[in-house]
Amino acid sequence: MTAISVFCDESCHLEKDQQSIMLLGAVWCPAAETARISTAIRSIKEEHHARGELKWTKVSSSRLAFFSAMVDLFFSEPVLNFRSLIVTNKELLNHSYYNKDSHDSFYFKMYFYLLRHIVRPGDSYRIYLDIKDTRSQESVNQLWEILANNFLDFERQYIQSIQQIRSTESEILQLADFLLGAVAYKNRGLKSSEAKLAIVGEVENSSGLDLTSTTPPWDDKFNLFFFTPRSP
């Protein structure tokens, strides 16, 4: 049984944030590799004199070499994988019909869709969520229960924990924010930053993907799944 660490982030996830898409994303790797990968990220930060967190919102022309190095790190490390779930046309969601009149219920379903491709019986998983002011510990525990039950993991052998951490605590969680930001930027159709467009281009070139298209389910390195709400 291999122990896997999964680091999850979200973008445009609030119900009434005036955004037409919602994204969840995760970077995962063997738990035994997290220290080495974290050290590699910190080394790149030091090499480029980058202080603080690695965040998509910090991408700029003056720091382009630093962010390019992070793209290179991800794609050169076979132990690192990324998956994003992109909900399109979020404004069309009918929670009263499909989600027990609850955005939280829908949110939990989407996390299940994100993680069901990652979690494989036989391995064990510790899942880390970027802490949000809008999410209570009770809702995290509820998400854990829903995920475990859906995988028939009633003894919590596979999904051993789900907990919230601050992004300052994890270099790999910061990497998830960075990669998810690139996917969000492309799918929101934004073009105001040449630097961000350049990074999006590098991600697409390195992955061989169009970030606006679903990938085959067997693609683990950089996996994208698009979810479109149904009409009642």
pLDDT at 231 over 70: no
Give per-residue pLDDT as tens, 50-94.
999 999 999 999 999 999 999 999 999 999 999 999 998 766 555
Name the band, by pLDDT with cuts 50, 70 and 90, for residue 29.
very high
Q: What is the mean pLDDT of the chain?
A: 89
Name the band, by pLDDT with cuts 50, 70 and 90, for residue 103.
low
Are 142 and 100 in contact by the 8 Å Cβ rule? The answer is: no
pLDDT-above-90 percentage for the chain: 64
Q: What structural domains and CATH numbers belong to the chain? A: 3-227 (3.30.420.10)
Most confident of 15-19, 99-103, 174-178: 174-178
Q: Smallest Cα–Cα separation from 114: which of 143, 71, 153?
A: 143
Q: How many CB atoms lie within 10 A of CB 155?
A: 7
Most confident of 1-15, 101-115, 116-130: 116-130
pLDDT at 134 over 80: no
pTM of the model: 0.91
| Residue type at 121 in one-letter notation | P
Q: What is the average per-residue pLDDT within 127-134?
A: 84
Cα distance between residue 168 and residue 151, in whole Å: 31
| pLDDT greater at residue 63 or residue 217 | 63
pLDDT at 99 over 60: no
| Those residues with Cβ within 8 angstroms of residue 22's Cβ, 6 or more apart along the chain or in another chain | 10, 11, 12, 13, 86, 87, 90, 110
Percentages helix, strand, coil for the chain, rounded to the nearest 5?
Answer: 45, 20, 35
Name the band, by pLDDT with cuts 50, 70 and 90, for residue 101.
very low
pLDDT for 34:
99
| Residue type at 190 in one-letter notation | L
Give me the phi and psi of 161, to 5 degrees please. Answer: -165, 150
